[in-house]
Structure 1
Amino acid sequence: MAKRKTKFMCQECGYESPKWMGKCPGCGQWNKMVEEVESTGSTRRGAFANTGNTSVAAKATPITSIETVSEPRITTDLNELNRVLGGGVVRGSLVLIGGDPGIGKSTLLLQVSYQLAKKAHSVLYISGEESMRQTKLRADRLGVTSDNLLVYSETNLQEISLTIENSNPDFVIVDSIQTIFHPEVTSAPGSVSQVRECTAELMRIAKTKGIAIFIVGHVTKEGSIAGPRLLEHMVDTVLYFEGERHHTYRILRAVKNRFGSTNEMGIFEMKEVGLEEVANPSEIFLEERSQGASGSTVVASMEGTRPVLVEIQALISPTSFGNPRRMATGIDHNRVSLLMAVLEKRVGLLLANQDAYLKVAGGVKLDEPAIDLAVAVSIASSFRDKPTRASDCIIGEVGLTGEVRRVSRIEQRVQEAAKLGFERIILPENNLGGWTPPRGVELIGVSSVSHALKVTLGG
């Protein structure tokens, strides 16, 4: 009998080594090397074999002679989901949805399955975490009943492939990819090898049969999808489901999309009957804003193709420690430190002995440069204990020399602010001109942070 060959594989990045190591050379993580039996190679060939509809091997073809058929996207009843997907579901696409446990991934996909089944599409819902009865209990709570929705509880990939072959559905939901295993791969379910091979097989099924497949991916404590990074490269679309478990609002964000814009965002509200979309998220984020409180500003941020108005709050207080604290929620911590350094050097605010706490209300994460000026004004407002006007909306990027630089899509930002009743828009001076602002809105162009503070705080 031949000796069984083993290898050690990192469960974070997929690095392979012939011997065990405490620290992975690939990603630097400790105690992530797990022993696995080496595959004979038949599994990987089986995963990628017969990628065409016939057994004839494909050959190189001039791109001008390839025939294409324009197929309309399949839309769901959730316009927010359609927006994030780029206009609807594309046939033959492989979509990965990740999120924290209990955030509502399974609820969202069960609702989408029902909406697609109502439109005469056959949907196969594969659950590796729940039994068929448990799935039915959740479906009863959500009011999901349709003969076009098939439920199947299985974790063996070969059985799943056979079921898909026999039922020939239009859509497949796999919940979740970490529970599925390939019997020819010796490692445990959820390992790097299992996730890679199972995803490759599902991708082959999606591309050859034109079936849109949604797979659920667990996330690590750092917030990234568990398993190898290769998983996100293999799929067509990667969606992250974000939000606090103790809050009702959920954010669905696209970080990769081969069929649409990236960084799109959809807002949902979790209720007893399931997830309901939020048509106007700006009103939701601003409805509890305090009037006359210092340290509060409103910024128009672009999330993909949509402008969203959110409130930025800052609290500046004298420190009781040797090193002042810097805490930020929804904003990059390094950006906050940079803006505080600009305020101290270019404006003269003595912030070196002040604790700073910043937060984006509503749980949204902002990462674009256009929020810089609003963050700087919030910090100065709290430090001076002077509130800004409730009807002000502040937009602009701040440079290291204290200048305010132009931002993109200024017309859409201003129109969204005008729609919600804001009367003054403080924006970069270079963004003025070349377009017509809405009626009843005063545009004030500023060239520096000092100029912006004089306009908003009166000095």
Structure 2
Amino acid sequence: MAKEKTVYVCNNCGQESPKWVGKCPSCGEWNTYVEEVIRKEVVNKRPVSGIETEKPKPIVLSEIEADDEPRIDLHDEELNRVLGGGLVPGSLVLIGGEPGIGKSTLVLQTVLHIPEKRVLYVSGEESARQLKLRADRLSHNSSDCLIVCETSLEQIFVHIKNTRPELVIIDSIQTISTESIESSPGSIAQVRECSASILRFAKETHTPVLLIGHINKEGSIAGPKVLEHIVDTVLQFEGDQHY
């Protein structure tokens, strides 16, 4: 059985400390340290994804092919413009915003208009019936969008391995948890570990992943500066409270 230890983690910047401190020495915020229980040793040394990939080897710089990969057209002129011309294969994009502002609706509407891509939509907050009702309200022409309601990271990778999607949606990252960490979903440790595993999967398989994340009352993404540093792009979804 793996040994466990308790550490204190700053909710603002992710800095760890062996004991509780009032002021974070890294970001200077007060009363942001929370207790996290993590495992000292990992029982399973295999990758969390369970997807077999070739181990990287050192390559001479001159031998690396640097051709521009075609971006994925999201069939949304503004979204393509913000992403620099489309979604880059193997990229990890975070869409952040207040709860209820329309992140899930925007993403679902976007992926339903990409009939040429096989999409896996992982919902940790809503049921398949709720997503179906929302999709019916949106005009779409996609019949190859797969829906699965799951919050276990290990099971999500099983579904990915079985379906081999060309685009993965995680809604939302705060609801996903891994068995290797005993903290509750949404905690700093869970968000960091799950995001790192998803990033590793995206880079090794060249599969783009869209993460949906909530922001807290202070206006920052819930869980972290840690999450902002892991992803490739952060899109802040904002609106006007009066219109």
Same fold (TM over 0.5): yes
CA–CA separation in structure 1 for the residues paired with 2:2 and 2:53: 37
User: Which of residues 163, 186, 198 is equivalent to 1:190?
Assistant: 186
5+ long unaligned stretches in structure 1: 248-459
SS of the residue aligned with 1:98? strand
Which position in structure 2 is the counterpart of 1:8?
8
Which position in structure 2 is the counterpart of 1:408?
none
Does the aligned pair in 2 maintain the 1:103–1:245 contact within 8 Å? no
Matches within 5 A, 1:119-268: 120-144=116-140, 146-247=142-243
Which position in structure 2 is the counterpart of 1:72?
70
Give the direction of change, closer, same or farther, for the CA distance of 1:44–1:94 in structure 2 (3 Å limit): farther
- Over residues 394-417 of structure 1, what are the superposed CA-to-partner deviations in whole Å (9 max), with x where a residue is unaligned? xxxxxxxxxxxxxxxxxxxxxxxx
- Over residues 88-145 of structure 1, what are the superposed CA-to-partner deviations in whole Å (9 max), with x where a residue is unaligned? 11111110111112221111100111011x2x21011111110111111111111346
SS of the residue aligned with 2:154? helix
Which position in structure 2 is the counterpart of 1:115?
113
CA–CA separation in structure 2 for the residues paired with 1:214 and 1:99: 14
Which position in structure 2 is the counterpart of 1:19?
19
- Over residues 63-89 of structure 1, what are the superposed CA-to-partner deviations in whole Å (9 max), with x where a residue is unaligned? 101234432112122100000000011
5+ long unaligned stretches in structure 2: none
Structure with larger RCO (C-alpha < 8 A, sep 6+): 2
Amino acid corresponding to residue 120 of structure 2 in structure 1: L
Q: CA deviation at 1:204?
A: 1.3
Does the aligned pair in 1 maintain the 2:113–2:141 contact within 8 Å? no
Higher strand fraction (1 or 2): 1
Does the aligned pair in 2 maintain the 1:47–1:197 contact within 8 Å? no
Give the direction of change, closer, same or farther, for the CA distance of 1:20–1:28 in structure 2 (3 Å limit): same
Indicate whether 1:88 and 2:81 are aligned.
no
CA–CA separation in structure 1 for the residues paired with 2:215 and 2:46: 28
Which position in structure 1 is the counterpart of 2:28?
28
- How high is the TM-score relative to the length of structure 1? 0.49
| Alignment length (residue pairs) | 243
Q: CA deviation at 1:52?
A: 8.4
User: % of aligned pairs identical?
Assistant: 53
Q: What is the aligned-residue RMSD (CA, Å)?
A: 2.4
Q: CA deviation at 1:242?
A: 1.3
CA–CA separation in structure 2 for the residues paired with 1:3 and 1:201: 22
Q: CA deviation at 1:50?
A: 9.1
Does the aligned pair in 2 maintain the 1:51–1:208 contact within 8 Å? no
CA–CA separation in structure 1 for the residues paired with 2:207 and 2:233: 14
SS of the residue aligned with 1:95? strand
Amino acid corresponding to residue 184 of structure 1 in structure 2: S
Q: CA deviation at 1:47?
A: 5.2
Which position in structure 2 is the counterpart of 1:299?
none
Amino acid corresponding to residue 223 of structure 2 in structure 1: G
SS of the residue aligned with 1:202? helix
Amino acid corresponding to residue 74 of structure 1 in structure 2: I
CA–CA separation in structure 2 for the residues paired with 1:68 and 1:199: 27
Does the aligned pair in 2 maintain the 1:217–1:225 contact within 8 Å? yes
